[in-house]
Chains A and B, each alone.
Chain A
């Protein structure tokens, strides 16, 4: 988006907030998935690009008519989003956000499509086989690596393929003043849920620690190259995607996390800083146990900080808000089940925790799902718009 009616561009606002410098208003981040993007463009507010709206209307109508898991229409919003036009992330900017995500390797991320037992299957660039269920995410059904010997031999895709980074050039051209965060996979989540499978991953850490450290080093080397090239192509922030917790506790002990995840995470953070951009970490689940370590390795921002998982934004910001930024406050996970008024009040209350003090980006704590009731969607965007206009500053 261009220069606002205030006196900062979106990008200036985001970067100032990360550093705790004065801002004209709180920056905003909307995480919108492909299906929700289609729904919002067709039912709520059109995107800036007219042909996106035409496509979104068609895909959303077909999706509503064909909801069975085997239907190809379930997959098409993803195909047109992640794999080709990446419209949902950018649509957030059209809706008034200051920052958006962009995924490298679009449109090649899901390299191959095929049919198996009546299911549409996908093989991604890492070799993970996926299928689309009744949900809207292509879930792993066969990992890329089946045993520790395959881990040693595993060949990564070529990170130097220049066209992998066209998405950043396009976003920078279309949204010159926005903050564009390049998504990269952290050392724990994608490796566990997709490359090995969660159970095999956790058992391998115990049974084959040296081999797993070696794999994680290579994994991180690969993504450091992605970081460098994404920034060179126009990204001004790195957004590390990982998951370290579930409700009220970490997935693994802090001892194991510090041994197997933290050193590799630090290398990714250092890589972002070396090319001059801040680093945001996304992790679902309980985060309180990790905050000291995040500060120690220099993470600039964390995203999610879900209340449902046991995170208290008031306490977290009070204790760490001078050293660590938070992208949170629009709790779409709880908000989906609230009344519109409750949802509205929740956003206002969370905004007032940090207000315009900095190190806070008012953001959705996960992707907005297409199942969110219409009235709640309207409450969300109306409330954030009021906040952007300064109507809820005390």
Chain B
């Protein structure tokens, strides 16, 4: 487990995927591999990012190693009927074409055991609401990069309110112009200043604090 954790943290994608394959071939339990190696590895990456030891490139290579490892692990997880921690819908709001921040949130959530439905960018309030009806997530996450597009967050929450979804589905928002004040104003449940805080919020909903 320690070796796999280190390979993911160091972003060694091929070696990490090979290691997972070897562990499965040797009878390793996919859920244990996930819980004791992959999730702690991404937690460590998140911690190093927040402490200023890791930056965007290190996050991306670790996420890529995690993704490769998950690809190998997924059939085993499905076979063992291991359920994800929860479903999260993410997207960049209508008219906004930026997606790296949103992608990082997706990576952090997946690496933490959530199923992520990524609606991409330029997502209208109606599309968010349709996706909520279809996928029944616990959280939707909205991202915006500019002041003119962040208004789409308010519109989406209003659309959710009309459909009686507010309270049923938690709303988290983030992006360069977004602030805690704005989150309070529009009635979002959480403002995430980065992908790690978004992941921590999602986990706080399903894993009680020790």
Give A residues with C-beta under 8 Å from B. Answer: 69, 131, 133-137, 139-141, 198-199, 202-203, 205-206, 246-247, 249-253, 256, 333, 336-337, 369-371
Contacts and interface: CB of A to CB of B under 8 A. Distances in A.
Determine which residue in A69, A134, A249 has the highest number of CB atoms from chain B within 10 A of its CB, and name it.
A134
B80 interface: no
Interface residues of B, number: 29
16 contacts: A133-B94, A133-B95, A133-B149, A135-B149, A137-B146, A140-B97, A199-B103, A202-B57, A206-B11, A206-B57, A246-B176, A247-B193, A252-B57, A253-B57, A256-B57, A369-B146
B148 A249 contact: no
Contact of A336 (B58, B122, B147): B147
Which of B52, B60, B181 is most buried by chain A, counting CB atoms within 10 A of its CB?
B60
Given A205-B57, A206-B57, A251-B55, A133 B97 contact: yes
Given A69-B122, A206-B61, A134 B55 contact: no
A200 B115 CA distance: 24
B156 to A, nearest CB: 13
A198 B57 contact: no
Given A199-B100, A202-B60, A249 B52 contact: yes
Nearest to B49: A249
Contact of B60 (A199, A246, A337, A370): A199
B206 interface: no
B109 interface: no
A75 B96 CA distance: 14
B56 interface: yes
B6 interface: no
A369 B147 contact: yes
A230 B72 CA distance: 54
Contacts, number: 74
Given A202-B57, A252-B56, 4 more contacts: A69-B95, A134-B152, A199-B103, A246-B176
Given A69-B94, A202-B57, A203-B64, A134 B147 contact: no
Contacts of B58: 253
A336 B181 CA distance: 14
Nearest to B59: A202
A350 to B, nearest CB: 20
Nearest to A284: B176
A136 B95 CA distance: 9
B4 interface: no
B98 interface: yes
Nearest to A333: B177
B128 to A, nearest CB: 15
Give the residue among A199, A249, A253, A370 with the most B Cβ atoms within 10 A: A199
Nearest to B95: A134
Contact of B95 (A135, A205, A206, A371): A135
Nearest to B60: A202
Contacts of B121: 133
B145 interface: yes
B148 A139 contact: no
A78 B149 CA distance: 17
Contacts of A206: 11, 57, 61
Interface in B76-128: 94-98, 100, 103, 121-122
Nearest to B107: A199
A371 B147 contact: yes
A135 B100 contact: no
Contact of A203 (B61, B146, B181): B61
A275 to B, nearest CB: 34
A136 B193 contact: no
Given A135-B148, A206-B11, A250 B55 contact: yes
A135 B96 contact: yes
